[in-house]
Structure 1
Amino acid sequence: MSELEDISHHIHDRISSLQRMLDLSVVALPHNKIRKLGQELFSLQRLLEELEKCVGRQREQLKHLKELEESFQKDVENVNHLKDNMPAHMPVKKGPANGKPLLNNDGAAVQLGQPENVKKSGKNYVREMEFITMPEFDSIPQYMKGRVSYDKLNAAVQSLNTAVTAKYKILHQSAKTLSNHARKLHQRFKDQETKDTKGQYFVVEDDIREFTQMRVDKQFQGILNMLRHCQRLRELRGGGLTRYMLS
């Protein structure tokens, strides 16, 4: 706005100068004064033209600022929508399954850091079930979903992961270091293993009751069907037990 104000002040000064000349026009003006008056009028005309151009530029800038404001407002609305609709459980992207290194945008190999306090030997590693993505949830037939929402399904995934982690945390410890109750669980876990479960991670209904607040009811069975549909787990029956094995 400073450019517009400067031109406006300049025009005001010119008009004041012309006004003084016109006030003196009641008397005969010398030829040089008449020429000066003509020069002032011509200068005033150029200033008015410059003022019009400046006003035009200011109008374009104002239009551009309004467009930026509208664009910014849309961005704010999108961010608020994302914030209000953020899933409670975010799927974790898998690493490369073919053994090839992960590359960045420059084609260089990315070094994946080791989490703190985790042994590199992998002895205490516990595999967890990955969360269900929205496209996977949409692929589940409606008759199978029932009233189970996307968030509730992934909450069940979280509970199953909690049970798996708690179970294998006990299994990875020496029985001598466990409490009496944990030692009994340790032995029960061992007795439930078969040649078909070697190297696999699984839980049974008693593990879910032991380590989670999830109810093992009819809806739970429906959730298991949905997880099988999404290839998150499979069932292995035998010895009077149903083992829910992570796929």
Structure 2
Amino acid sequence: MAGAELEDLCSHINEKISHVKIILQLKNIGQDPALKTAFWKIRNEMTLLNDLLNKLELELQYQEHIRNSLRELQESLDRNYKEIRNLAENIPPHLPKVVQSCVVEPNVNLEEQVKITASEHSKKPPKEQKPIKEILLLTSDEFDNVPGYMKSRLTYCQINDFIKEINKAVASKYRILYLPKKTMNSSIRNLYHRFIEDETKDTKRHYFVVEADIKEFTNLKIDKRFHVLLNILRHCRRLSEVRGGGLVRYVIN
């Protein structure tokens, strides 16, 4: 038993001595000028290899994140597909009428007053009224082609809602201009004269509004967002401006 332990001890000591010899040999090799260059190259390669392994680890983490995101997206698509299939298989026999999502609440004030005044005072059958020009709503392609810096966070629906409000101001204004003068009350007559004074030789035979008309017939605020929306309509060639006499006239193209 004691002999076996002695052999193990001798073997352990010999192993240590062998390690020391190898270390001394490597130390001597490292001091050899001819091999120093090779050692430095190996050291640089080890450093580059370590950097590469770090980058590889980061890339693996990123790919794992992408995989998890795609898995969540796939699960969401599967749920949506099941819901759509369920809806398709259970379509009711009678569907309600489609209502547009871009709804603008009607502004009841002078516009209604114009209709009431005309109906109360006109004894003769009303003549067919001239068609009032409107701004065409933007198409989805036009909206997509508006530069991002110009439309910022505005949505397609918001821009078309704005167009509807401007059209409402135009319609209210020109409804008054087309009224017979004898059917006008004092407030309508004052508006009529202001509309006439706002006209210039450049706006003849054109439909236009000014900020006062927009304030009169809509709930729009004349603020920074208002001018951003106008800039988009000018970009899409829906409106142009005629300036003069301290007024900006927004002319429908």
TM range, smaller chain: 0.5 to 0.7
Q: Which residue of 1 aligns with 2:139?
A: 133
Aligned residues: 144
| Shift of residue 73, structure 1, vs aligned partner | 3.2
Matches within 5 A, 1:1-247: 73=85, 76=88, 88=102, 123-247=129-253
Aligned partners of 2:226, 2:181: CA distance in 1, in Å?
32
Structure of higher RCO (CA pairs closer than 8 Å, 6+ residues apart) = 2
CA contact (8 A) 1:204 1:244 kept: yes
Unaligned runs of 5+ in 2: 1-81, 92-96, 104-124
Regions of 4+ moved over 2 Å:
72-77, 83-89, 117-120
| Shift of residue 174, structure 1, vs aligned partner | 2.1
Counterpart amino acid of residue 219 in structure 1: R
Unaligned runs of 5+ in 1: 1-69, 90-116
Counterpart amino acid of residue 162 in structure 2: A
| Shift of residue 124, structure 1, vs aligned partner | 2.5
1:168-210 superposed Cα distances (whole Å, 9 cap, x missing partner): 0000012221121111000000011111111100000000000
Aligned partners of 2:87, 2:252: CA distance in 1, in Å?
41
Q: Which residue of 1 aligns with 2:42?
A: none
Greater share of helix: 2
Aligned partners of 1:130, 1:153: CA distance in 2, in Å?
11
1:79-138 superposed Cα distances (whole Å, 9 cap, x missing partner): 9xxx9996527xxxxxxxxxxxxxxxxxxxxxxxxxxx9966xx4321111111111000
Counterpart amino acid of residue 88 in structure 2: V
CA contact (8 A) 2:102 2:158 kept: no
Counterpart amino acid of residue 88 in structure 1: C
**TM-score where L is the length of structure 2:** 0.52
> Between Structure 1 and Structure 2, whose CA radius of gyration is higher?
2
Aligned partners of 1:127, 1:85: CA distance in 2, in Å?
24
RMSD between superposed Cα atoms in Å: 2.9
1:17-55 superposed Cα distances (whole Å, 9 cap, x missing partner): xxxxxxxxxxxxxxxxxxxxxxxxxxxxxxxxxxxxxxx
Q: Which residue of 1 aligns with 2:32?
A: none
CA separation of 1:191 and 1:142: change in aligned 2, threshold 3 A? same
CA contact (8 A) 1:124 1:169 kept: no
Identity %: 44
CA contact (8 A) 1:164 1:202 kept: yes
Aligned partners of 1:74, 1:86: CA distance in 2, in Å?
24
CA contact (8 A) 1:202 1:245 kept: yes
CA separation of 1:172 and 1:86: change in aligned 2, threshold 3 A? closer
